[in-house]
Amino acid sequence: LTEPYLAGRSVLVTAGPTREYLDPVRFLSNRSSGKMGYALAAAAAEAGAEVTLISGPVTLEPPPGVQQVQVESAQQMCDATLTRTAATDIFIGCAAVADYRPTRPAAQKIKKGSQGLALELERTPDTLEQISKLADKPFMVGFAAETEHLETNARHKLNSKGLDMIAANWIKAGRGFEVDDNALTVLWHGGKVELPMAPKIYLARGLIKLIAEHYHAKDSA
Ligand code: PMT
């Protein structure tokens, strides 16, 4: 049984993919199923926290006791997060947020022509970077999904995004996106731990315990 490591604390989790529309029927997105983020929301609620889950479009039901906010685009995910960060003790960014969106989405369905079609893309807001600029920011945990140089790239994100902790996962067959099991390399300033391959809910419980330890150590410092 999980101990109430986070009783009386508020946790905000983002999960799932975002959708960036080209026209009213087509969008750019990714393979995130929301399983990892929903497992984290469930584990944080088991640990006694008041949990809000900001979710992109997925087919999962929110875990019991968790307040769910549904969004579609990276902009909506960023806005929904920023309006809630002041009331948040711990933020966990597990969503696979699009880094780019079409610069000029078409108001009507794009018609097929005889030529190819070039899409112009612009950057979306980075939710983690926006939160890390706030004077009164929560304890911040990011994720890193990598196809190469897992630890180097994750440590770079830990520093550049102003995070307290980052959970890095490999993107390869049977790992990371969509599947039920995963493994995480968790990094913080001056340390790391490997959470070996396990069902996402077990992994989430392990990560929530680790986050709670570091959060309480920082809070009482
Ligand atoms: O949903 P599942 O199918 O269970 O898969 C889980 C997962 C693979 C999606 C998850 O474990 C994971 O790795 N999530 C983060 C995926 C990702 O987008 O990583 P990234 O390296 O591109 O982004 C780094 C961090 O910045 C993430 O915390 C991300 O939420 C955040 N970010 C990224 C872009 C952006 N515009 N705003 C952000 O806040």
Q: Is 78 annotated as a binding residue?
A: no
Tell me, yes or no, if 30 is annotated catalytic: yes
- Each domain of the chain, given as residue ranges in start order, spans 10-103+121-219
Residue appearing with tokens 């300033």: 189
Which residues make beta-bridge pairs with 51? 11
Instruction: For residue range 58-85, list pLDDT tens digits in order.
Output: 999 999 999 999 999 999 999 999 999 9
Residue 3's pLDDT is what?
83
What's the whole-model pTM score? 0.97
Q: How far is the CA of 2 from the centre of ligand 1 (A)?
A: 26
Mutate to test the pocket of ligand 1, among 20, 82, 94 (most ligand atoms within 8 A of CB): 94
Q: What is the ipTM of this complex?
A: 0.98
Q: How far is the CA of 136 from the centre of ligand 1 (A)?
A: 23
Q: What is the mean pLDDT of each run of 10 residues along the chain (221 residues)?
A: 88 98 97 98 98 98 97 98 96 98 97 93 96 94 97 97 96 90 96 97 97 94 80
Fold for the domain defined by 10-103+121-219: Rossmann fold (3.40.50)
**What's the pLDDT score for residue 1?**
57
Neighbour-count burial of 206, counting CB atoms closer than 10 A to its CB (0-12 exposed, 13-18 middle, 19+ buried): middle
Q: For residue 127, which atom of ligand 1 is closest to its CA?
A: 39
What pLDDT is attached to residue 173?
82
d(CA 47, CA 42): 9
CA 14–ligand 1 middle distance (angstroms): 9
Atom of ligand 1 nearest to the CA of 161: 26
Among protein residues, the one with the nearest Cα to ligand 1's atom 18 is: 96
The strand pairing partners of 104, in sequence order, are none
